[in-house]
Amino acid sequence: MTDRAHPRDRAAGPEGFDALAPTVQHHIVNSLGWPGLRQLQDAAVAPLVAGQDAILLAPTAGGKTEAATFPLLTRMSQEDWRGTSVLYICPLRALLNNLQPRLSSYTQWLGRTAEVRHGDTTAGQRRRLSAEPPDILLTTPESLEAMLVSTLTSPQVLFANVRAVVVDEVHAFAGDDRGWHLQGVLSRLEAIAGRPLQRIGLSATVGNPKELLHWLRGPRREGTGRVIDPGGHSKDSDVRLDWVGSVDNAAEVISRLHRGEKRLVFADSRRTVESLTMSLRERKVDTFASHSSLSVDERRRSEQAFAEALDTVIVATSTLELGIDVGDLDRCLQIGAPRTVASMLQRLGRTGRRADTTRNMLFLGTTDEEFLRACGLLLLWSEGYVEPIEPPSAPHHVIAQQILGLALQRRAMNRDDVYRDLSAFAPLAAAEGEAILDHMIENLFLVQDGPLLMVGPAAERRYGGMHFRDVMAVFTAAPQFTVLHGRTEIGLLDPMVLRGPHDGSLTVTLAGRGWRVTSIDWNRQRAQVEPSTVGGKVRWSGVPQPISGALTRAIRRYLQGTEPEGVEFTRRSQEKIETMRGEFMPFVGVGDSDVLTPHDRGRARWWTWAGGRENARTLAALTRVAPELLGEAPTWDNFGINLSSDATLPEIRRAMSQALQRATNGEDVFAPLLDERALREVKFGDMVPEALLRAEIAQR
């Protein structure tokens, strides 16, 4: 076959393309039919072929996967990598499933393979992957942990040939403890492979990409690494805000708007997804649901049907935020508001992928709180703000998990093994590491035989069930009941939905459909259901998340009269804004001035507009410095702190000045007050000395 026009004649430029292996070049032009590489892809080739670590930044559908994969295929070809040499890590199983066919087609150019392994992979598939290791393994941190501690296969055999790792949606990892888990696992993999692994992170826009690269690389890495962000990918966006007042009203608006188009609707709770999907179906709108508590098959059916349809709606939580391909979208809508600008950008980027379309997002306010959050978020977005990614501080419980995981992996180890195998794990410092090791030995999570350390009886009792399955993940999933229609799994529900007396008429809503509960197996945690014409109860447990100080302050500025540019407001939203500005006028003050107002139950309300986390710290400081200001029931939220009715602004200012002085002198006066329950709820917290655990929770 004759090559088409060579990309060096195109605007993308010859330098990046020419650094790729000839076979990869040939298939880009002839198999994909591309006239050239995109700007990001072109810029990434030379540093990645040279083996550099990098963060690649581009919006959703910006070609990041190819920007990482094509240079690695080039290295695989030129350096004759064999066995599993590339790990491709994603935060979601659905994203891995979505990517596998595309990566498999690319690896076939070289006669190589790309396969998926995660929690849904069957035992037979796992045996096949061990016998015939793929060149690129798509997986999660939890599955990597499972492979490292497996008694059926040798991690030395599985991972001896690994050369590079791609971390897709790296910001989603770095922002919570799964990121620290990933970093610990990568350190152990480097110890097995006997070499530093090339680390490549893929992300949409983030506020601090250099710091994100530093986190991804881990400590003591040679060289500098690269942030590759070609810019120039901004595109005009059609962003609008409407006030509808309820989820049912939102369903009515969605059912009337954009008929004949493909619409993706985001909601930030599974309950809202379910109720909105049901309401849209009642209005004869072809609608599908997608969230984490639906079965894999149910989500797959929904996403496949949505991808192939035209006049349809899919309602989803953030499960569809992270790059899963559901085809070209016409419209993106948002019930309420996400909690970050970064999340909004991810969702906005799902639209406008065709050359003749514009990125668009319609916010539908259903509650006062969500409406205010949307207003503040749109103000930050219009100002170009994006949140920095901040890894959680002091992850002592993850250190303990990694030590236990390493003991399971090695069967027997000494202290030097811990520091050698986890040398690329940033949180592991000698002082904390020794304290955690001593605590684990003292409490029999590890047992010592001379210099050797092995898994102890306390770890067996606490974490040993199902082949130490609890050790595989740093998070604890809330207990949920499996809902079955015959042998078909529909999804999972909170057991509280099923409790209480019922006479066989209990109905629940799941997958946007009504179900009548016919039997409950409390021991096996299963509920059998039959289709129902009406919906019913729906619930999942969760922990309320505070919003940031930046967003809270933006809400205040918005209520004070600052308007975002580039946002269109409906008449209903303008009326709602004016009403809320009038209601909040006594509370927002002027600029950053302090505001103290009467509150219910005879208390005073100090409107700090500082965000939930900062208000928790401030209340802790007042408790230590001026307890007389607190009254009987001091509380805090995102916007302020409720104090004694006798508190005055001068007294608060004096107390805060004193607290700052004591903090300057080294006293941890702002450490949040801890509920003892918080200590018990930290997974692996029992393997951490109490002082370190308290410090960890306080810092967070």
DSSP per-residue letters across 133-156: --SEEEE-HHHHHHHHH-SSS-HH
Residue 489, pLDDT above cutoff 80: yes
Q: Is 496 contained in some domain?
A: yes
Residue 13, pLDDT above cutoff 60: no
Q: Is 537 contained in some domain?
A: no
Q: What is the pLDDT of residue 333?
A: 97
Which of 382, 405, 423 corresponds to the end of one domain? 382
Take residue 522 and report the two structure tokens written for it.
């409390």
Q: What is the pLDDT of residue 14?
A: 42
Q: Is 640 contained in some domain?
A: no
Residue 3, pLDDT above cutoff 80: no
Q: Is 332 contained in some domain?
A: yes
Q: What is the domain-level CATH number for residue 58?
A: 3.40.50.300
Q: Is 542 contained in some domain?
A: no
Q: What is the pLDDT of residue 230?
A: 85
What φ, ψ does residue 167 adopt, rounded to 5°?
A: -110, 105
**pLDDT category of residue 232 using cuts at 50, 70 and 90:** low
My answer on whether 124 and 54 are in the same domain is yes
Take residue 444 and report the two structure tokens written for it.
């029999």
Tens of pLDDT, residue by residue over 114-170, are 999 998 888 899 889 989 999 999 999 999 999 999 988 899 999 999 999 999 999
CA torsion angle for 534, 537, 543, 548 (degrees, to 10)? 40
Indicate the helix (H) or strand (E) that contains 316. strand 312-316
Which of 228, 263, 292 corresponds to the end of one domain? 228
Take residue 274 and report the two structure tokens written for it.
């379910």
**Average of per-residue pLDDT values in the chain:** 91
My answer on whether 217 and 250 are in the same domain is no
Q: What is the pLDDT of residue 482?
A: 94
My answer on whether 181 and 300 are in the same domain is no
**Calpha distance 271→532 (Å, rounded):** 18
**pLDDT category of residue 500 using cuts at 50, 70 and 90:** low
Q: Is 569 contained in some domain?
A: no
The total domain count for the chain is 4
CA-based radius of gyration for the chain: 27
Rounded to an integer, the average pLDDT of 78-88 is: 97
Tens of pLDDT, residue by residue over 270-316, are 999 999 999 999 999 999 999 989 998 888 888 787 778 888 999 99
**Calpha distance 45→650 (Å, rounded):** 60
Q: What percent of the chain has pLDDT over 90?
A: 73
Which of 228, 247, 267 corresponds to the end of one domain? 228
My answer on whether 122 and 35 are in the same domain is yes
My answer on whether 32 and 103 are in the same domain is yes
Q: Is 409 contained in some domain?
A: yes
In terms of residue numbers, what domain contains 148?
7-228
My answer on whether 371 and 403 are in the same domain is no
My answer on whether 46 and 173 are in the same domain is yes
Distances (CA, A) of 530 to 296, 483, 518, 523, 601: 20, 10, 7, 21, 48
Q: What is the pLDDT of residue 77?
A: 97
Residue 1, pLDDT above cutoff 70: no
Full strand arrangement of the beta sheet holding 86-89: 114-116, 136-139, 86-89, 164-167, 198-203, 54-57, 226-228
Q: Is 583 contained in some domain?
A: no
Q: What is the pLDDT of residue 594?
A: 87
Rounded to an integer, the average pLDDT of 313-329 is: 80
My answer on whether 317 and 204 are in the same domain is no
My answer on whether 304 and 364 are in the same domain is yes
Rounded to an integer, the average pLDDT of 87-110 is: 94
My answer on whether 355 and 454 are in the same domain is no
Q: What is the DSSP letter of 8?
A: G
My answer on whether 436 and 502 are in the same domain is no
Rounded to an integer, the average pLDDT of 556-560 is: 97
Residue 409, pLDDT above cutoff 70: yes
My answer on whether 487 and 462 are in the same domain is no
Tens of pLDDT, residue by residue over 587-606, are 999 998 889 999 777 789 99
